A and B are shown apart, each in its own frame.
Chain A
Amino acid sequence: MDLTTALPVLLATAWLLPLGSFALIVLFGPWMGRRGVGAGYLATGAIVVSFVLSLIALLGWLSHHPIADAGHHAAETVEHGHEAAASHAAPAEALKPVAGDWYALGRFGSLAITIGYYIDSLTLVMFTMVTLVASCIHFYSFGYMHEELGIVTDPLVRKANGRLLKRKGRFHRFYQYLSLFCFSMLGLVISGNVAMVFIFWELVGICSYLLIGFYIERKSASNAANKAFIVNRVGDFGMLIGLMVLWSTLGTFSFGGIFEQVRPADAGHELIVPDGMVHAAAADEIEQITLTAATPEEANQAIETATPGWRNAGYGQWLLIIAGLGIFCGCVGKSAQFPLHVWLPDAMEGPTPVSALIHAATMVAAGVYLVGRFYPVFTPEVLLVIAYVGCITLFMAATIAITATDIKRVLAYSTVSQLGYMMLSLGVGGWLAGLFHLITHAFFKSLLFLGSGSVIHACHTNEMPEMGGLRKKMPWTAYTMLTGCLAISGAGIPLLWGLSGFHSKDSILAQLFSFRIQNSVHGNILFWAAAGGAAITACYMFRLWYLTFAGKPRNEHVAQHAHESPAAMVAPLVILAVMAAIAGWKVPFTNVGVDTLIGQSRPVGTELGVGANTAVAVMPAERLSHEKPIHNTVSWIAFFTALAGFLVATVFYGVRRLDPDDVRKTFGPVYTFLCRKWYFDELYQLIFIRPVMVISRAVAAIDKHGLDWLADNSARFVKWISRLDEWIDRLLVDGLVNQIARQTHRLGLALRAVQTGNIRQYVMAIAFCTVTLFVVITLYWSYIMAAGS
């Protein structure tokens, strides 16, 4: 079977299986097996098959597009001249993505909404990663959600009578949402056009909403769900604007169509402002031409000739920037970037497997994925914005993570921070590094979350100060989590070997260093923030591990009840730990690895970097960061920063040479600042929520005291009105009418008196009226005449 026909079929099957599972569970969930346990089997089966299919597709792709060995790569790295770039461009040309449409949803004028696909190695890697992590989490959930099979007593919800809430388990519903999420996430990855991306973008949002609010009875959970949903809508608003700009100027939603216009082949795949945007911006000039031209053909000719001039004059540039910023705005919301990061920590109210799958590995990475997908469209200005947003996010989130005590919140802020790394990397031209980190992060972060879930499952608390010394009780959890901690910290032997995070983080830092060489100001800020962030990452991760597993139990009660989790939970931990370790490695004796695989999908035209001839910033070619001097320097910097973080954590929490409380007291304000999460929630409370609440309360007050009062008193009011009405009626209307009637009657009588029927009087009346009129008119007339003259 040909690859171009096989890939869509394989991936479509992998994509639709969870949908089928979802549909079946919706219809028959409660009756599947004992208390719906069959729903779990069904969903897990579906996602595992999806994983297998994805893997087959990936291998198929690899067999058709083998990756050149490292020698070629090195040679290319050494001679980074134009010839090399040209020779590099040639195979990229050959690796055309498999794109097409399955089904046309509808056509509205020139707007075609289709269900299409755009498959390249990035899609395949994402597919494999998502299905693998999802499979692990499906298995894991059998253990974690086991309680949901029976009657659940929610320890956090008290009813009005003070008793704890008891409710029926919702096991099948959990898997139902998971299946829907898998379907949506895969759909998002495979999407062949932006409209479809948006549809699935919203679908994953809905799944996230449903799963965060899984424990709907908990006020905090439903609030968190609302928060996540609402904050995401803010981002989506920007995304819609971006989509509108793209569609209205380019007339297409499909990735291929957009990229062709933004980086046309005849411009050497350089980023140019597409004709559509130039024309949209130069509407006035075009109107002039159309008005003056003799024929439409002539006008078109003139417009075509003038277009390059307009483009050089900067027409449409801002449209391209708005489109890019709009798309990125959606990614900011979804990937919890500053300033819309506030929803993600709260989203930890959901079950931990959900946090692992949706809020660590996949959905939140969708923003990064989309930025990677849309990479060809971003101008240097947009990329710089992305870089700064990422940088602020990573640093801020990392610092908050230091002081957090809720184990899941630490991980949540860590996630935000790592997503910031990815964005930063993409922003400074590290396309591959960013997406590579996305994949590795997915593994180690889901591992960490599942580990924390295991701990929570054992201790029934999220608070790390309550834990401690758990490594003896639950060794599997402890050491798999240690692997995760090492991976995220980027542990490894410099220049040689390391866990997955080592490879991906190194390449990010290397790209940043390369960027710093070309852009001194931006580069210094971004690089040192990122490097500092790396140190902080190591610090808070080991703080987490020490607090949870090392030392002596701080709460005997908790420690007593703690136990290792069942095999269903441990097995996924082990799988993910392995993946977290090796995801960055190459297959032995080849150059095949996640990074090189993703590298096959590098957008055409971005090999040489972005913005080489602009004043804004130069995003250097990623190739340059592999050069020895840069790479070596960065490796050592990364190593020492991570080591520093690790040592600080060890001194404070491992061997307890220093008391964190002393530091806390010494740096009181800073500590409070961090504890308060940089006061973001308070800030938003103050500038967004409070005003809205004030307004809504005012409206409610008006409603209650005005409208309700009106409603309450309406009867009285109506009665009063009717009395008034009656009074008016009687006195004024009736009175008036009666008065008129009476007066007319009287007048009639008077007239009857006049209308005596006495002819003598009639004749007298004629004479009298004539004379009177004459006098009146004469007087009036003389007055007029006098006034006139």
Chain B
Amino acid sequence: MTFHSLIENALTDTLGPTLAGFRPELALCATIVVLLLSRMLMPRWKEGPFWITAAGAVAALWLAAPWSQLSGGMKTAESIFTGMLLHDTFSVYLRCLLFFFLLLFVLFTRSSGIPRDTHATEFFVLILGAILGMCLMVSANHILIVFLGIEMASVPSYVLAGMLRHERRGAEAALKYAIYGAGTAGIMLYGISLLAGALGSVHLPTMAAAVVDMFAHDQASSRYLVLILGGLMLMIGLGFKLSAVPFHFWAPDVFEGATAEVAGFLSIASKAAALGLLVRLVVVFGYTPNADDMVHLEPIRQYMTLMIAAAAAVTCTFGNLAAYGQTNMKRLLAYSTIAHAGYLMMPVAALSALIGTDLTAARAAAGSMLFYVAVYMFMNLGAFAVVAYVRNRSGSEEIDALSGLIRTSTGLAVCLAVVLFSLVGLPPLAGFAAKFAAFASVYQAGLVLLLVVGLANTVLSLFYYLRVVKVMMLGEPSRYRPAVIIPLASSAGMVCLLCTVPLLVWGVWWNGLYTWADAAASLLCK
């Protein structure tokens, strides 16, 4: 192969499938550039950052074109950037979810008044950067991209956690987050280097092939310690992003210290991306199209199933239990987020278990996770939005601040109640459908213990969510705080409705979303 042909190949690859698949990310990059330029060129355009970001989100969404890609428009998965990224329905779905979230988030922050105008450009640039990193995470096909994506998503988050609060707690939270993140990143990088060294490659499918080869020739026994350690360390990096126990320590502190908006962003976007990455890793190391090789991957699948299931069970239980004693709404939601990370990992464990035996069921498991993520996005954003609006009026983020909300802002209180009930997973809300689908796949995978833990947790979670509802519905409005009067017919109310109505709709009619989620999972195992 001559240099010329090398260039030729790279060029063809880049200009052909790569650019086509990478257009949404490029749009985000362009948005960042435009944002920075607008700050310089039109410093007086206060609203500029919102509009530009929103336009960028819409453009990215448009370029990702889920309506065509997820409705049979995409038949095969494509490796782009010469195998660095994987462009398939799965990445389309999650990226579109991220873009859509970005759009909602822009609307939300616009109406909640944070960031203030002076910081808007930086804020949105950081957000866009993080989203870009997350897009890399969900499309990663190369272990360096994995690391790169996680870091690209994390570094802006560190800044975001501290930038909007000019007080000690915000700075502290940001610092803790950064150091904690750095620690886990280091461990992950170590794990990556171990794996790369042991398997002789950094390209994920090649690594998987090497594992198969290793197991096929029975060379694994000499190196399985390395593999286990490498795998564990890689998982720790992901665990940090997922705030899985015991790598969750950062979450409550950061959520409490950061603004509700940033907390919402962290709790949703980075979770979605981390889960996407987790699924990618599970599929890459758990599945090859060759049936003979599948047998050799059985130990790997077992390992992953065990790890993920254990992490899910512990995370879920811990999150729910720890949420009990909380008085701060954001802290409570932080633990709720941790718990939901557990719920969300359950179908991934099921996927890992099923991928070797029943591809249809595995696809359903992945689909149920993707469905859950979408629902979760609305639920959590709604919860954090209400917290932000209440904070704006009352100046408090304690649960007490919600006391008697039903009398002052009926619509808002109802929205929050719907969101909380959906978080519990009560029918006829989308949270129920999501949980049901997830638990169904767990059951199908035969992970009975995990199912029991999940169900028990659902019951456990009822209490602390209901406590909030009780305070909201039965409590008296505080006399020492300004009354929270937010009508539904306001931008804030609209955002809340925007988060709540889909929960009601999907609770009854989940086919539409589930069809997309299923389509997104369809190309994983091909």
Binding site for B on A (CB under 8 A): 737, 740-741, 744-745, 747-748, 751, 754-755, 757, 759, 762-763, 765-767, 769-770, 773-774, 777-778, 780-781, 784-785
A774-B228, A778-B228, A785-B221 given; A766·B325 CB < 8 A: no
Within the complex, the shortest CB–CB distance from B265 to chain A, in Å, comes to 22
Query: B176–A773 contact, CB under 8 A?
Result: no
Chain A residue nearest to B233 in the complex (CB): A770
A755-B249, A762-B179, A766-B187 given; A777·B324 CB < 8 A: no
Residues from chain A with a CB closer than 8 A to the CB of B463 are 737
Q: In the complex, A762 Cα to B248 Cα: how many Å? A: 10
Chain B residue nearest to A750 in the complex (CB): B322
- Is B41 interfacial (CB 8 A cutoff)? no
Query: A747–B321 contact, CB under 8 A?
Result: yes
Q: Mark B241-268, 1 if CB is under 8 A from A, else 0.
A: 0000011011011000000000000000
Residues from chain A with a CB closer than 8 A to the CB of B307 are 777
- Is B236 interfacial (CB 8 A cutoff)? yes
Query: B246–A778 contact, CB under 8 A?
Result: no
Query: B180–A781 contact, CB under 8 A?
Result: no
Within the complex, the shortest CB–CB distance from B14 to chain A, in Å, comes to 39
Q: Which of B172, B224, B325 contacts A748 (CB 8 A)?
A: B325
Q: List 24 A-B contacts (CB under 8 A).
A: A740-B321, A741-B325, A744-B321, A744-B322, A744-B324, A744-B325, A747-B321, A754-B249, A755-B249, A755-B252, A755-B253, A757-B176, A762-B249, A763-B179, A766-B180, A766-B187, A769-B247, A770-B187, A773-B236, A777-B232, A777-B303, A780-B306, A781-B228, A785-B224
Question: Which residues of chain B in 155-195 are interfacial with respect to chain A, using CB atoms and an 8 Å cutoff?
Answer: 172, 175-176, 179-180, 183-184, 187
How many Cβ-Cβ contacts under 8 Å join chain A to chain B?
75
Chain B residue nearest to A765 in the complex (CB): B249
Chain B residue nearest to A764 in the complex (CB): B183
- Is B225 interfacial (CB 8 A cutoff)? yes
Q: In the complex, A740 Cα to B459 Cα: how many Å? A: 13
Contacts A766-B187, A767-B187, A784-B302 given; 16 further ones with Cβ under 8 A?
Answer: A747-B321, A747-B325, A748-B324, A748-B325, A755-B249, A755-B252, A755-B253, A762-B249, A766-B183, A766-B236, A767-B183, A773-B236, A774-B228, A777-B228, A777-B232, A780-B306
Q: Which of B228, B233, B236, B322 contacts A747 (CB 8 A)?
A: B322
- Is B229 interfacial (CB 8 A cutoff)? yes
Chain A residue nearest to B229 in the complex (CB): A774
Residues from chain B with a CB closer than 8 A to the CB of A763 are 179-180, 183
Query: A748–B221 contact, CB under 8 A?
Result: no
Question: Which residues of chain B in 282-305 are interfacial with respect to chain A, using CB atoms and an 8 Å cutoff?
Answer: 299, 302-303
Q: Mark B306-332, 1 if CB is under 8 A from A, else 0.
A: 110000000000000110111000000
Q: Which of B228, B303, B306, B325 contacts A745 (CB 8 A)?
A: B325
Residues from chain A with a CB closer than 8 A to the CB of B221 are 785
Chain B residue nearest to A754 in the complex (CB): B249
Chain A residue nearest to B179 in the complex (CB): A759
Residues from chain A with a CB closer than 8 A to the CB of B250 are 762
Main secondary structure of the interface of B (DSSP, over half): helix
Within the complex, the shortest CB–CB distance from A620 to chain B, in Å, comes to 79
Q: Mark B203-235, 1 if CB is under 8 A from A, else 0.
A: 000000000000000000100110011001100
Q: In the complex, A774 Cα to B234 Cα: how many Å? A: 12
Residues from chain B with a CB closer than 8 A to the CB of A767 are 183, 187
Which of A751, A766, A778, A781 has the largest number of chain B CB atoms within 10 A?
A766
Query: A757–B179 contact, CB under 8 A?
Result: no
Which of A748, A765, A773 has the largest number of chain B CB atoms within 10 A?
A773
Residues from chain B with a CB closer than 8 A to the CB of A777 are 228, 232, 303, 307
Residues from chain A with a CB closer than 8 A to the CB of B299 are 784
Query: A762–B176 contact, CB under 8 A?
Result: yes
Residues from chain A with a CB closer than 8 A to the CB of B246 are 765, 769
Query: A741–B233 contact, CB under 8 A?
Result: no
Q: In the complex, A737 Cα to B321 Cα: how many Å? A: 11
A769-B246, A781-B228, A785-B221 given; A740·B252 CB < 8 A: no
A766-B180, A777-B307 given; A741·B324 CB < 8 A: yes
Chain B residue nearest to A762 in the complex (CB): B249
Residues from chain A with a CB closer than 8 A to the CB of B228 are 774, 777-778, 781
Query: A757–B253 contact, CB under 8 A?
Result: yes
Query: B172–A757 contact, CB under 8 A?
Result: yes
Q: In the complex, A769 Cα to B180 Cα: how many Å? A: 13
Q: In the complex, A355 Cα to B252 Cα: how many Å? A: 97
Q: In the complex, A769 Cα to B175 Cα: how many Å? A: 21
Q: In the complex, A732 Cα to B271 Cα: how many Å? A: 37
Within the complex, the shortest CB–CB distance from A42 to chain B, in Å, comes to 69
Within the complex, the shortest CB–CB distance from A778 to chain B, in Å, comes to 6
Q: In the complex, A762 Cα to B224 Cα: how many Å? A: 29
Within the complex, the shortest CB–CB distance from B234 to chain A, in Å, comes to 11
Residues from chain B with a CB closer than 8 A to the CB of A744 are 321-322, 324-325
Query: A778–B325 contact, CB under 8 A?
Result: no
Lowest 5 CB-CB distances: which A-B pairs, in order? A748-B325, A744-B324, A769-B246, A745-B325, A763-B183
Chain B residue nearest to A781 in the complex (CB): B228
Which of B232, B252, B306 has the largest number of chain A CB atoms within 10 A?
B232
